[in-house]
Amino acid sequence: MATFSWPLPADASAHGPALDHHLLLNLWIALALLALAHLIILLGLLAHRRTEATNLWHIEYLPLAALAILFATLTIKAERLWAATRYTGASLTAVQIEATGVQFAWYFRYPGTDATFGITRPQLVAPGEGNPLGLDPADPHSADDEITSELVLPTNREVDLRLNAQDVIHGFSIPELRLKQNAVPGQTIHIHFTPTTSGTYAILCTQLCGLGHYRMNATLRILPPAEFTAWLASKQKAATP
C-alpha cells in the first residue's frame, strides 16, 4: 500500500501516518463492500427462487451482525487514534503554547522564561493598543509572555497546545499535521502532537465564523530544535526593554 498514490497533503506529524493508514483502510473496506453488494444483487437476479422467503433470516441477519461488528471496530479504532491527540495528557516536557481564535485571526502565545502564562482578562482586550489577548500587566507572569501572529514549532518535540476563542467557535486546522479541533469561547481545549518535518504550512479556520472567515488563516513554521530556540530567544530579546 506504500506505493499507492495518495492525494492527501504530505504528513508532518508523528501521529499522522496511523490516521492516514486507518483512513485508507476504511476506503478499501468501503470499496470491497460496494463490490460485494453489487455481486450479491447480480447473483440474486440470476438465481432461481428455490427457497421460501421465511427461511432467509440467516442471509439477512448474519451479514448485518458482521457489518455491525466491522463498523463498530473501525469506529473504536478511529476514536482511539483521535483521542491520542486530545484526551490523553501531554508529557511534562512538552512545549507549552496557546492559540486563540478571534474574528478573524489566530494569535499564538509563548509563556516566556518563567514557563507560566500570564492572566488574561476580557475587559483588557485591546487589539488597537497592542494587547489583543487582554494580558493583565499587573500579573508578573504576563511580562515575558510572547504573542505572535505566526506559529513556530520545533521538530521532534511534543507540543501541548491550548486552544481558546474570544468571540465565536473557530476551527483550528492544520492539514499537514492531521489536526482539526474547534476552539470554543469559555473553554481551554488541549491538543498535543509532535511535528516531525521542517517546513512552512497553512493554519486554517474550518468553522464558518463570520463574514471574514475566508481570510482567517495563519502560518505555521516548523524548525529544527536549535533554530526554534534561537527564534524564541530573539523574540524574547526584542521584547525586553
| Interaction site with Cu ion (CB under 5 A) | 170, 205, 209, 216
Could you tell me the smallest distance in angstroms from the CB atom of residue 140 to Cu ion? 32
Query: How many Å apart are CA 203 and CA 173, to the nearest integer?
Result: 6
Could you tell me the smallest distance in angstroms from the CB atom of residue 159 to Cu ion? 21
Residue with smaller CB distance to Cu ion, 179 or 205: 205
Could you tell me the smallest distance in angstroms from the CB atom of residue 105 to Cu ion? 9
Could you tell me the smallest distance in angstroms from the CB atom of residue 179 to Cu ion? 15
Pairing of β 151-154 and β 159-165: unpaired
Residue with smaller CB distance to Cu ion, 209 or 218: 209
DSSP 8-state secondary structure symbol assigned to residue 186: T
Amino acid at 105: A
Query: How many Å apart are CA 235 and CA 88, to the nearest integer?
Result: 31
Query: How many Å apart are CA 59 and CA 50, to the nearest integer?
Result: 14
Contact indicator for 202, 219 with CB cutoff of 8 Å: yes
Residue with smaller CB distance to Cu ion, 197 or 206: 206
Could you tell me the smallest distance in angstroms from the CB atom of residue 131 to Cu ion? 20
Could you tell me the smallest distance in angstroms from the CB atom of residue 235 to Cu ion? 25
Phi-psi region of 112 (alpha: psi -120 to 50; beta: other; left: phi over 0): left
Residue with smaller CB distance to Cu ion, 170 or 178: 170
Residue with smaller CB distance to Cu ion, 135 or 216: 216
SS3 of 130, please?
A: coil
Q: Taking the alpha carbons of 12, 13, 17, 22 in that order, is the dihedral positive or negative?
A: negative
Residue with smaller CB distance to Cu ion, 79 or 150: 150
Contact indicator for 204, 217 with CB cutoff of 8 Å: yes
